Structure 1
Amino acid sequence: MILSRRTKRSTDWAEYKSVQGQVRQTIRTEHQKHIAKILNSSSNLNGNKPFWHYIKSRKKDQTGISSLQTTDGVATTPAEKAEVLNNTFKSVFTTEDLSSVPALPESTYPPLPEISITEHGVFTLLSQIDPHEACGPDNIPAKILHELAQELTPMITHLFKQSLDTSKLPTEWKSAYVTPVQSQLLLPDIGYLSGKCHVWPTIMEPA
C-alpha cells in the first residue's frame, strides 16, 4: 500500500488490491477451518471446553458481579461488593464456646480400623480425575494429575501418609475458592447469594 501511494501508478494499486483480497479470503478460510475444528472437538473425547471458550471470547458483556442490594443500600464498586460478600460469608460461621464443652459418653460403636493409604488407591483416584476440570487452589491443572498419575502417585502417597502420621494438614490443603452465585434478580440481594468451594478429596483406603 505504501508503494502504491508513493508511486501512484495504477498497476501498483491494482496489485495491492489483489493481494489485499487474497489475504482477506485466506483469513476468512482459516477462520472457518478454526470454527469447524472447535465444533468437531466438542463431539469427541476433548469435550466441549474449546467450544464454550470460543463463545465466551465472542461475548461483549463482561460485567462480572452486578451491584448488590444490602440493608444499608447498594454496593456498586468492586471494594464495596467484596466487603459485602466477605461479611456475608463470615456471618454463616459460628464461634463456639470452648469453655463449656460437654464430656462425651463412651462410644457404643466399634473403633475404626487402621487407615492405610496405598499407591494403588492413590493411582486409581488420580486416573479418574476429569482432565477438563478447572484448577483448584493449588493451581495444578487436572490434566497433569490425570495424565501423570503413575509418576505422581509415589509422591502424593508419601504426602498423605506424612499428613496422617503427624495428624497435620498443610496450609495449602485448607484453602478453597469461594464463588458467589448470582440469582435471577435484576438487583440481587446479598441474602440470595450462595457460595461453593472446591477442596481436594481425601485419598484414604481402609486396611
Structure 2
Amino acid sequence: MDSGDSRRKWQGIQAITNYKTTSPACDSDASLPDALNDFYIWFKAQNNVAVRKTIPPPYDQVLCLSMADVKRTLCRVNPWKSAGPDNIPDRVLRECAEQLAEVFTDIFNISLCSAVVPTCLKTTTIVLVPKKSMVSCLNDYRPVTLTLIVMKCFERLVMRHIKT
C-alpha cells in the first residue's frame, strides 16, 4: 500500500474493523429544526456584567492595545466579506477607522482588563450552508457562524499578541 494514499488506508481500516457507513436518517420530522435551534441557542449565554472605564496600572495589565494597532487592524478589514449580525458593512469600518479607533481601543482594553467580553460583541448569526449541491434533508447542511467584524478585529489583535 502506498504511504501517500490515505483514502486506501482508511478503506483498509474500515474493511478490517467491519465499519459500515450509514447516512443519518432524513425523516420529515418537524422536531428536527427545533432540536437544531435548541442546540445552537445554548451558546447564547447571557453576560450582564456592567463595564466601567477605568485605567488599570500598567504593571497589572498583561496586554494593552494601542490606538495605532486598532486603527491598522480596522484598515485591513476585507470590504468584500459579508456583514455580521449588526449589518454594518466592512467598508464602513475600514473607511471610518480613524474615527472609530479610539472608541474601540477603549472598549478592547476595558474588556481585556476586566477579562469580560461585552455581550454586544458576542452576537453571532448561524447560517446553514449546504454540504452538497442537492440538499435532501437538514443533515445536508453545515452551520456557519457570522460574527461581528469588530470582534474579529479584537481576536486578531489578541492573537497577534499571543503569537509574539
Q: Same fold by TM-score, threshold 0.5 exceeded? A: yes
Unaligned runs of 5+ in 1: 1-69, 94-112
Q: What does 1:128-167 correspond to in 2, within 5 Å?
A: 128-167=76-115
Task: Tell me whether 1:196 sits opposite 2:150 in the alignment.
Answer: no
1:153-180 per-residue CA deviation (whole Å, 9 max, x = no partner) reads 0000000011111111111122211111
Match of 2:11 in 1: none
Relative to structure 1, the CA distance from residue 177 to residue 162 in structure 2 (aligned partners, 3 Å threshold; closer, same or farther) is same
Name the larger-Rg structure. 1
Scaled by the length of structure 2, the TM-score of the pair is: 0.57
- The answer on whether the counterparts of 1:137 and 1:175 sit within 8 Å (CA) in structure 2 is yes
Match of 2:36 in 1: 85
Match of 2:74 in 1: 126
Shift of 1:190: 2.8
- The answer on whether the counterparts of 1:85 and 1:190 sit within 8 Å (CA) in structure 2 is no
> Which sits farther off after the overlay, 148-157 or 162-171?
162-171
SS of aligned partner of 1:177: strand
SS of aligned partner of 1:160: helix
> Matches of 2:130 and 2:29 in 1, distance apart?
14
Shift of 1:143: 1.3
SS of aligned partner of 1:195: strand
- The answer on whether the counterparts of 2:124 and 2:145 sit within 8 Å (CA) in structure 1 is yes
Aligned length: 116
Alignment counterpart, residue 180 of structure 1, candidates 103, 120, 128: 128
Structure having greater relative contact order (Cα 8 Å, sep ≥ 6): 2
SS of aligned partner of 1:143: helix
Q: What does 1:12-91 correspond to in 2, within 5 Å?
A: 71=25, 73-74=27-28, 82-87=33-38, 89=40
Shift of 1:75: 5.3
> Matches of 1:182 and 1:84 in 2, distance apart?
18
> Matches of 2:118 and 2:101 in 1, distance apart?
18
| Structure 1: 4+ residue segments shifted above 3 A | 87-91, 204-207
Relative to structure 1, the CA distance from residue 89 to residue 71 in structure 2 (aligned partners, 3 Å threshold; closer, same or farther) is farther
CA RMSD of aligned residues (A): 3.3
Unaligned runs of 5+ in 2: 1-23, 44-60
> Matches of 1:88 and 1:74 in 2, distance apart?
19
